[in-house]
Each structure stands twice: as C-alpha cells, then as structure tokens.
A = this chain, B = another copy of it.
Amino acid sequence: MARNLERLFNPRAVAIVGASQNVKTISGQPVWALAKHGYAGTLYPVNPKYQEVEGHRCYPSIAELPEVPDLALILVAAARVPQMLRDVGRKGIPFCIIFSSGFAETGAAGRALQDEIAAIAAEYSVAVVGPNCQGMIGVTDDVYAGFGSAFSGDNFRRGSLSMTTQSGGFGYGVVILAEEAGLGFRSVVSTGNEAGLTTTDFIEWFTQDPQTKVIGAYMEGVKDAHRLLEVGDHALDADKPVLIWKVGNTEVGQRAAASHTANLGGALALYEAAFKQRGMIRVRDANELIDYTQVFDSGKRPAGNRVAIVTISGGGGILMADQCVESGLSVGSLSPTSEAKLKDIIPSFGSWQNPIDITAGIFNNPEMLAQAMQIIVDDPTVDSIVVINASLQGEIATLRAQELVELSAKTSKPILTAWSAREKFAADAYRVLREGHVPRFATPVSCAKALAALTTFAEAQRRRVREKAESVLTLERPEAKAMLAGRTADLAEFQAKALIAQYGIPVTAEMLVHDRAEAAAAARSLGYPVVLKVQSADIAHKTEAGGVRIGLTDERAVEQAYDEVIASAKAYAPDAVIDGVSVQEMVAGGTELIVGVQNDPLFGPAVMVGLGGIHAEVFKDVSFRLAPLTRSVAESMLRELKSFPLLDGVRGRPLADVEAVVDTLLALSALAIDLKDHLAELDVNPLLVRERGRGVKALDALAKPRLAT
C-alpha cells in the first residue's frame, strides 16, 4: 500500500519557505498563485526578510509557525535547502516540495547535496517532491503550488486525469494543451530529480485515489523499475489505465537525458517489455494523451478487438478500416443475419458489409443511422462500434448525437465517433455526446488509435486474470549458484551449457578433453561426425580465434583438429587460460534461434528470444519479457517475432517444436530468478529448434557472472 498523498495535493495549510515579495521571481510566485486560484487553507510565508507576503503574515522561521502545515514549499538556494528541510522535519510537516535547482542535474557536488537531502527526508519521514521541479496542482481542490505559465492562468478544468511529469516545463505545457482540448484534471505533479517521491509513487497513489480515473506519466526513466511493474498490476486490477509518455528513446535523446536528469537510462527494450506486460499504454504526442484519456474516461471496456465501422462517408470508412487494421483491430464480417437486416435498410449505392456505408442518404432517411446501429449493437460478433459522421452539422447532427447517446447507454459495447463539423455548427451535438460519454474524435485516424489503446488495455486486464491462474516455474539449483558465486570471469561454453542443463535445457552431447587421445576417445563414444571447440573464458569468439572445427568424421581428423584448435587459440590469445577442448555431437537441420537472459540493474532479470544468426541483428527481431514468465507470456513473446512464421510452417517448412522453445523460455525464466544475484547475462546462441516433437538443443552458450556491487 502506497503512502496516502491526499494531503500533499489537498493540504490544509502550506508553509512557503523562502517566499519573496516579488511575484515576478520564482520564489514570489507560489504564494500569489495559491491565493489567486482560490486556495482555501492557510498560507504561511517563511522569510526572515519580510513581515508579510501578498497580505499574508510572514514568519522568520519554520519553527515559529503557529501550527504544523500539511505541506512545505522550499524555494531557497540549493546550499540552504538541507537546513530548511531539517527544520521542516523537526516541525513534523509530512510533505515538502523542493523547487530549488542545483542538485544531481549539475554533477557530483550537486549529487552529494541531493543525497544529503534524501537522508534528511528519511530521517524525519518527510515525503519530498523534487528538487529541481515546478510544483504541483491539486486541480479539484484549487491548490496551485508552483510557478510558471500553468500557475499564472485560469484554473484548469476539473476532471479525472491525474498526471505525473519528470519535466516541469514540458509537462505543464502538455497539461495546457490537454486542458485547451477539453480534458479535465484531478492532480498534476512535476517530480524533478525525484530525491524522494518518484513517478512510480505517484502512479501508485493515483491507482488508489478514487477521484482519478486515468493516469498520465511523462517520464525520461525510472529508478524503481520493479515497483513500476507492481504498480502496473495494481493499475490493471483497479481498472486505471496508465498512459506513459516515455522519452529519451534514441541515442541522442538518451544523451540529453543523461545531461538533464539524474536518471539511469534503462534500456528501451526493457521499458517496452514492462509496459506491454503491465498493459501500460504508450503515448507519443499530446494528442494521443488527450484522445486516449477521452476514450478511457468513457468507462467502457471492449470484450475483444472486433470493430464495426458505420459511416456516412465512404472515404472516411476506408481510412478508418486502414487505421483499425494497422492498429491491430479486426474489421471482419458481421453475422449473416446482421448483413441481411442491414441490406434491407441501406441504399444500393451504400455498403451493408463492414465498413458499413449508410451514405449521405442519411439526409433523406435520418432514422437509418439508429436502425443500423441497433442491428450492429445486437450482433454478438462485434465488440466495439465506430461511427463516422463526417462534418454533419445543425439539427440533424444533434438528433443523431442523441440517438448515439441513447444506444450507448443501453450497451456495454464502446461506441466512438469521428466527427469533424465546425464546433460552432455542431455545438449542440458535441455537447450531447460529451454529456452522454460518447467519445468524439476529429478524424477516423485518431478515433481508431484511441479504440486500439482501449482494446489493448482491456486485453491486458483479461490477460492479467489468465496469468494469475497460471503457475510460474520455480527451480532452485544450488550447484548453479555455486558455479557463479564470487566468479569474475565469464563461463566458457562447456560451463555455461552445464549451467543451463541444470535447469533442464537440452544441450549437445559433449565431453571436455585435454589431449589428442582423449579427443579421439570422446569422438568414438559420441559417434561421428563431431565438432571440436576450444574452451576458454578468455576467448568469447571461438570461431574468430580459429578455435572451432566442424564435421569431423574420423579419428585422424579429430586428432589433427585438436592440435589445430589449440594452436590457433594460443596464437590468437597467447595469455588465454585454456580449459580444454569440447568434443560435441554434430547436430544439423532445424532453425536457429537465440535465447538468453539479461539481468538489468534497473529491471532485474529479463528473458529474450529472437531469430538466430546475423538476421536477428540486422532486423532487430527480438522479444523481451521481464522474468518470471508464465507459459502464455512465453508463447506470446515467441508469436510476436516477425520471423515466427519460420517456425510455423511458412512456405511448406515443417512445423518447428514451438512447445520445446516455450519450455526453454520458462526454464530460462526459472534460471534467471534463481540466479538473479549471481548472473549478469546469459546467451544461448544458437538454440537449434527441430521439427515438432523433436525438441531443441543448445549448440553454444555464454554466461557472464554478476559482479558483487
């Protein structure tokens, strides 16, 4: 259970430490902004220089305040912040927003100062927002505790969107855009350097806050990825969609992120895996945040991804169909019964097949829309309905809007509209839709994208229910831990294979040998043909080192190969410690995959699968999930590979043993959890997948221990 932040956003009294009489300065703005927006509690400016600020009595110190406020704002220079925060703590003030810059964003000295305030906050149990932030707005309670444009205009519209942003300047810019587009807010907070409360803390609070229905987060990165995942689960359970705007995704963007904030730059692939696994919805521009909030705010959740399109403009229908399909929705046929009924009421130049084009004939027969809609609402093969009303305006527009609202009230299926009439010629219609919670979008493209986001969230909720019912494979292998504990060098192939074999992953039959005779004996015992590979923790790229010979079919060849690989390896890396040579069965046929584990400092262990060989690299066709995986998750990560058809019988190829791959991913998941304190990275490359029923086999592997920190 997260800390209750109600009194942060709705404090009964606020101390403003370092308040200035000059409202043009940052330290002058909060008192003015709080008062201007109608703050109902008591304001206590604190500044030894003044007797009063903006008509409020000003106190020389925090200690001398006549009561304990719920919130303190600190606006003094960075160097003085620790002392002020200590005073806040001693006074017993539970929440504190530190606006001051000059902390971790400026380098080592600032970082030390930030660590100091974090320690003070912990000592006194003060929940700190910032430093280097722009403040917060408790919109529904008229609490405007901050500075900048968002704090100097009118009060924002009240609503159900709560938002946390790591960038104050940009984040509040987005809030302004969203407000102008008609959204209403519950709370907004700028988190800055996050010395105390984090983006994750706020998302968690918003999942618990009854007045928040949709959560927005603008983030460059988080430091508490594991909690973000937990919170994502809570959000799904609480039916609170989390709209994530993650920036710093490209190399240049990340460079800027590093110089801008104090965040660790967790890998984008793991962020994406985390968001996907937890049903968090990525947004990529302000209009998406606005559109998605609107559709989530309607409260409906579709039962599946089958959408019916109803249009009065053929062109709009085509565009909508394009965008729905591109967004992963299904625009399939209606039931034959529905099609027959629609055929009876739609003009011959229209279309009674999905997309259903009732045409401009609606002007001659205005009832047609409601009639068609009723048939579609009743059709069990339809999960959601989108209605394109082009630029329909005037009285006919209002009547059609009323019909849609009535239909929507009587069905659990989401009904969305794309409608581009000028505001002033369709104001009544738009008001009717708004009041009736029927979302409206300017174009079919934005409408389809919003429906796709809604559908994805609903599917994530269903998936969460299914996954809760699934078991997670857990394995404990003390021998495996012992192989890694305290080790600094990589595990060579033969050791890495021994490691994964302990978790049940099939590996090639092989023997480690130390001379020609042992090599020949091993080959005899394994059966020809065999492969020889030099084994050394110092030689990661055996082929490059000339340390591999394949297709050896007799004893002479094996003996000669033994000498060659040893000689090549020594020539390639004279200082390498050579553990021996691995003599392996030679396995042919099948499809090569790469699977592995990445134990990220931020996200912890994740499991990866991709197409093997050079193509994985060129096409970046890999899929990550954070461990532990359930079976259905492992299956979905395999199926989302673009190259999955290669395993699934494309062009007459044999069906590959997908089950065995899934088993391997589950074994890796168990391994990743069991070894999470000891393993940094593990690659199985290639993992050979054979025909269905014939299993998989690890042909090569490499493991890097996690160094103690």
Beta-carbon contact of A316 and B348 below 8 Å: no
For window 234-266 of A, CB contacts with B under 8 Å fall at: 247-253, 255-257, 259-261
A172 touches B391 (CB 8 A): yes
A431-447 CB mask vs B (1 if < 8 Å, else 0) is 00000000000111110
- A218 in contact (CB, < 8 A): yes
In the complex, the answer to whether A251 meets B422 with C-beta atoms within 8 Å is no
Instruction: Produce 1/0 per residue, A352-383, CB < 8 A to B.
Output: 01110100100100000000000000000000
**A554 interface residue (CB < 8 Å to B):** no
* Contact flags A153-170 to B (C-beta < 8 A → 1, else 0): 100000000000111111
A642 engages B617 (CB within 8 Å)? no
Output the residue of A322, A331, A615 with the most chain B CB within 10 A: A322
* Stretch among A137-145, A555-563, A644-652, A691-699 lining the B interface: A644-652
Query: Does A665 belong to the interface (CB within 8 Å)?
Result: no
B260:A314 contact, CB within 8 angstroms: yes
A102-B349, A351-B256, A391-B176 known; A617-B318 Cβ under 8 A: no
Q: How far apart are the CA atoms of A354 and B253 in the complex, in Å?
A: 10
Q: Are B348 and A286 in contact (CB under 8 A)?
A: no
A216 interface contact, C-beta 8 A: no
Residues on B with beta carbons closer than 8 Å to the beta carbon of A393: 149, 152-153
On chain B, the residues within 8 Å of A177 by CB distance are: 420, 442-443
The reply to whether the CB of A707 lies closer than 8 angstroms to some CB of chain B is no
**Shortest beta-carbon distance, A392 to chain B, in Å?**
7
Instruction: State the interface size on chain A (CB cutoff 8 A).
Output: 96
A272 within 8 Å of B by Cβ? no
**Residues of the B chain whose Cβ atoms lie less than 8 Å from the Cβ of A321:** 250, 252-253, 255-256
* Chain B residue nearest to A388 in the complex (CB): B170
A469 interface hit (Cβ, 8 Å): no
Query: In the complex, what distance in Å separates the CA atom of A253 from the CA atom of B625?
Result: 33
Chain B positions within 8 Å of A390 at CB level? 149, 169-170, 172-173
Least CB distance, A356 to chain B, in whole angstroms = 10
Which of A106, A319, A443 has the most CB atoms of chain B within a 10 A radius of its CB? A319
**In the bound complex, how far is the Cα of B619 from the Cα of A560, in angstroms?**
42
Closest approach, in angstroms, between the C-beta of A311 and any C-beta of chain B?
8
Give 7 CB contacts A-B under 8 Å: A148-B391, A173-B316, A218-B315, A249-B326, A255-B321, A286-B445, A619-B642
- Residues of A in contact with B (beta carbons under 8 Å apart): 26, 101-102, 105-106, 148-150, 152-153, 165-174, 176-177, 180, 218, 220, 247-253, 255-257, 259-261, 284-287, 312-319, 321-322, 324-326, 331, 348-349, 351, 353-355, 357, 360, 363, 388, 390-394, 420-423, 425, 442-446, 544, 614-615, 617-619, 621, 642-643, 645-646, 650-653
| A152-B394, A169-B360, A170-B316 known, 9 other contacts, Cβ within 8 Å | A149-B393, A149-B422, A170-B319, A173-B443, A177-B442, A256-B318, A256-B357, A260-B357, A618-B645
Q: Which 3 A-B pairs have the closest CB atoms?
A: A167-B315, A169-B313, A170-B315
